Amino acid sequence: MILRCITLIFLTLVSLKSFSQDKKFYIFICFGQSNMEGNAKIEARDTTAVDSRFQVLQAVDCEARGRIKDNWYTAVPPLVRCTTGLTPADYFGRTLVANLPANIKVGIVNVSVAGAKIEVFEKDSYELYLATAPGWMKSIVAEYDGNPYARLIALAKLAQQSGVIKGILLHQGESNPNDTLWTKKVKEIYDNLIRDLKLKPKKVPLLAGELVNADQGGACAAMNQIIATLPQTVANSYVVSSAGCTCSPDHLHFTAEGYRLLGKRYGLQMLSLLGYKLKENISH
């Protein structure tokens, strides 16, 4: 009997150790609509030489790519769903691992819904928004078990078993043009994430990227004026410039090169907030 108890205690300790949190595994939560999901075609240069220190927690099953949801993989794009493209998260992560000490890993959790308003991530009222959403959007949401926010939380909690959440990345707004309540809605979602994941807001910044800039003829560039006011509503938030980030002919989505530059800027901003000396200027 005593031997059995000792064995059970030993197995419990081993189990706990196997799921111990690695403080040198930095986790970043990403959410938004099509630009965070990734719209540009993935090029050969984006799939080669991806550092294994950069990981993605698979959000959905992707049999064609040999990926099973809820498992970590080297962050070879696509990082969101099976058919999505390049995302700012790609070069955000690559920028981090290129500049962080070699013993630090970076992990991405990304749940994004193309074409969706910010309301799709509202914890208590997302169903009201989805009730009138088009069928194709509902199909995307179905891949997240019908509730994008809940899926994001579930993945983030799973990620917390492996590492430490260090920041939140947002790219959204094309579907909320001229919405003066956007910053308030974002704050509510951010506050819910902080609360549900038991995080400390002073230690977990929110980085929000601008939409396609006016210098590229951005179709929703006026929304950047509202996005610019986010730090007035969310104390620990920062806006990432999209100036000079090239876009596709629809003037809504970035080109692959535009995503690379925007993702790099997200990364440089986060490195600065983490206290690392930058090798490059954030504006470049």
Q: Would you say 208 and 171 are in contact if contact means Cβ atoms under 8 Å apart?
A: yes
Q: Would you say 241 and 210 are in contact if contact means Cβ atoms under 8 Å apart?
A: yes
Q: Would you say 74 and 105 are in contact if contact means Cβ atoms under 8 Å apart?
A: no
Q: What pLDDT, on a 0 to 100 scale, did the predictor assign at position 277?
A: 75
Q: Would you say 67 and 73 are in contact if contact means Cβ atoms under 8 Å apart?
A: yes
Q: What pLDDT, on a 0 to 100 scale, did the predictor assign at position 16?
A: 37
pLDDT tens track of the chain, all 284 residues? Answer: 454 544 444 433 333 333 478 999 999 999 999 999 999 999 999 998 899 999 999 999 999 999 999 999 999 999 999 999 999 999 999 999 999 999 999 999 999 999 999 999 999 999 999 999 999 999 999 999 999 999 999 999 999 999 999 999 999 999 999 999 999 999 999 999 999 999 999 999 999 999 999 999 999 999 999 999 999 999 999 999 999 999 999 999 999 999 999 999 999 999 999 999 776 554 44
Q: In which element (H, E) is residue 61 found?
A: none
- Calpha distance 131→138 (Å, rounded): 9
Token pair recorded at residue 86: 């390049």
Geometric angle at alpha carbon 207, from 68 and 52, rounded to 5°: 40
Q: Which domains are present in the chain?
A: 20-273 (3.40.50.1110)
Token pair recorded at residue 12: 């419990």
Q: What pLDDT, on a 0 to 100 scale, did the predictor assign at position 280?
A: 58
Token pair recorded at residue 32: 């938004």
Longest dimension (CA), the chain: 75
* Length of the chain measured in residues: 284
Q: Could you tell me the pTM of the whole model?
A: 0.91
Annotated active-site positions, please?
Answer: 34, 250, 253
- Calpha distance 122→130 (Å, rounded): 11
- Calpha distance 52→93 (Å, rounded): 11
Identity at 34, one-letter amino acid code: S
- Calpha distance 67→32 (Å, rounded): 22
- Calpha distance 70→90 (Å, rounded): 19
